[in-house]
Amino acid sequence: MLAATIDVIAKDSSTSSQFEESDQDLVRRCVKGDSQSFRCLYQRHQSRVRAILYQLCDPTTLDDLVQEVFLRAWKGLPKFRQSAQFSTWLYRIAWNVASDQRQIAAKGRSRLEALTHQSPTHQDAPDLMHLHYQDLVQRGLKNLSFDHRSILVLHDLESVPQKEIAEILEIPVGTVKSRLFHARAAMRQFLYQEGVQL
Amino acid sequence: MSPFSDDDQDLVEFLREHRSPSPPPAVGLENAVMRAIATPKVQSSPRRWNRWIAAPAIAASLITAVLSYRALVPPQPSAGDVATLEAFIETNWNNTVSNRSDTELISINDE
């Protein structure tokens, strides 16, 4: 009985210590085959990966895409440079998955209309104006080119620094700034045409 | 330093306030990911395959190179062959020179 209690406590403490560990430590454990460390990485990063993919891809395949991102990450972990930031590397994979999915969709796969997946599932009683603005933002993002949308989602919605975005997209920081400028201008123009005064 | 200019702050705040929340993950997605990674790593197979295919490929390349060299480069003639060849060339040359001088002498005398 006592041994079992000690075992449970040990398990709990090892789990909590895993949560405190840095991404790099968890990655090192993963490379050695510790899948529980990968579970920690998944829990730590899945919501942001999900948010990025949601804005860049067809939401009907969101779960599959998230799974694909983490599968690719797991397979690619042995090649991951420990000096790099794990999140940057992971977002790069997410962006690649989004790009691939976009290319597949462009080849003729039917896509659902934007409005069909606008229904907010989390909110109990969202007001109509908020729903309207959500629809506008979503349509505005869809209205942008994939490059501009990627920049806007990563920088303005996910608060990823420009330098990190440059690494994720493998483009110079100057290009990030330029694309961000044009993306915002296009978004502002779209909102203005829809009657939104900022 | 602000990540965006003051001019764009209103736009960024609007976008953040009215962004659509991503739908929650399907129940069991995390476990599905963990099950998927539990299968043997895919990358180890190509590496092993490369290792097994590389050695025979290198050996085959070396054998092909040696055989090609032997087939394409002519064998060295023996000393007897060389002597025979020299004798033939010498005889042939002498005959040619002597015949030519005769005809030239004849033609000069004719003129």
Tens digit of pLDDT for each residue in B13-62?
Answer: 999 999 999 999 998 999 999 999 887 654 444 555 566 778 888 888 88
Alpha carbons A2 and A8: distance in angstroms, whole number? 10
Distance CA A141, CA A143 (A): 5
In A, minimum Cα distance to B45 occurs at A75
Beta carbons within 8 Å of B41's beta carbon, 6+ residues apart: A74, A75
Query: Within this chain, do residues B44 and B69 fall inside the same structural domain, yes or no?
Result: yes
For range B68-97, the mean pLDDT: 84
pLDDT at A6: 44
Burial (0-12, 13-18, 19+ Cβ within 10 Å), B106: exposed
Q: Which residue has the higher pLDDT, A74 or B98?
A: A74
Q: Which residues of A touch B18 (CB under 8 A)?
A: 130, 133-134, 136-137
What percentage of chain A carries pLDDT values higher than 70? 81
CA separation, residue A161 to residues A29, A51, A73, A153, B23 (Å): 28, 16, 21, 12, 25
Q: Does the beta-carbon distance from B30 to A42 stay under 8 Å?
A: yes
The overall pTM is greater than 0.80 = no
Separation of alpha carbons B98 and B111, rounded Å: 20
As annotated, the residues of chain A forming the CATH 1.10.10.10 domain(s) are 121-198
What's the rounded mean pLDDT across residues B62-83? 83
Pick the CATH number of A121-198 from 2.40.10.10, 2.60.120.10, 1.10.10.10, 3.30.450.20: 1.10.10.10
Mean pLDDT of all residues in A23-37: 89
* Residue B106, domain member (yes or no): yes
Has residue B4 got a pLDDT over 60? no
pLDDT at position A196: 87
Whether B67 and B88 share a structural domain: no
- Domain boundaries A21-112, corresponding CATH code: 1.10.1740.10
Decide if B15 and A75 are in contact by the 8 Å CB cutoff. no
Q: What is the per-residue pLDDT for B93? A: 86
> Do the chains contact at B19 and A133, CB–CB below 8 Å?
no
When pLDDT is averaged across residues A70-87 and rounded to a whole number, the result is 89
Tell me if chain A has a CB within 8 Å of the CB of B106.
no
* Domains identified in chain B, total number: 2
Identify the pLDDT of residue B13. 93
Confidence of residue A108 (pLDDT cuts 50, 70, 90): low
A22 vs A18: which has the higher pLDDT: A22
Shared domain check, B69 and B41: yes
The minimum CA-CA distance between B58 and chain A, rounded to whole Å, is 26
Residue B55 lies in a domain: yes
**Those residues with Cβ within 8 angstroms of residue A54's Cβ, 6 or more apart along the chain or in another chain:** A62, B20, B22, B23
Q: Are residues B47 and B82 in the same domain?
A: no
Asked whether residue B21 is assigned to any structural domain, the reply reads no
pLDDT score for A128 = 86
Pair B67, B81 in one domain: no
Distance from CA of B1 to the nearest CA of A (A): 12
CB A62 within 8 A of CB A53: yes
Token pair listed for B80: 């007897």
Please state the φ and ψ torsions of residue A145, each to the nearest 5 degrees.
-65, 165
Q: How confident is the model at residue A114, as a pLDDT? A: 47
B86 touches A: beta carbon within 8 Å: no
Which tokens hold the place of A97?
């998955």
Supply the pLDDT for residue A185. 95
Q: Which domain holds residue B34?
A: 29-73
- Can you read off the two tokens belonging to residue B99? 């015949």
Contact flag A75-B17 (C-beta cutoff 8 Å)? no
Residues A165-178 as b/e (b if ≥16 CB within 10 A, e otherwise) read: bbbbbeeeeeebee
C-alpha distances (whole Å) from B94 to each of B82, B89, B90, B98 are 18, 9, 6, 6
Comparing A33 with A189, which gets the higher pLDDT? A189
Selection from A33, A141, A49 nearest residue A88 by Cα: A49
Minimal C-alpha gap between A198 and chain B (Å) = 6
Mean of all residue pLDDT scores within chain A: 83
B81 and B68 both lie in a single domain: no
- Do B84 and B98 reside in the same domain of the chain? yes
Residues of chain A with CATH 1.10.1740.10: 21-112
**Torsion of the alpha carbons at A158, A162, A168 and A169, rounded to the nearest 10:** 110
* Domain shared by B64 and B36, yes or no: yes
Checking if the pLDDT of A194 tops 70, the result is: yes
More confidently predicted of B69 and A88: A88
Predicted local confidence at residue B103, as pLDDT: 53
Q: Would you say the ipTM is above 0.85? A: no
Residue B35 C-alpha from the chain's centroid: 41
Distance between CA atoms of residues A118 and A138, nearest Å: 8
List, as ranges, residues 34-63 from B with C-beta within 8 Å of A: 34, 36-38, 41-43
Average pLDDT score over residue span A148-175: 95
- Considering the domain architecture, whether residues B57 and B81 belong to the same structural domain is answered as no
The SS3 of residue A124 is coil
A36-45, B2-11, B69-78: least confident range = B2-11
pLDDT at residue B99 tops 60: yes
B1 touches chain A (CB under 8 A): no
Strand runs labelled E in A42-190: none
Listed in sequence order, the residues at least 6 apart from A41 whose beta carbon sits closer than 8 Å to its beta carbon are A23, A26, A27, A30, A73, A86
3-state secondary structure of A39: helix
Residue B104 has pLDDT above 80, yes or no: no
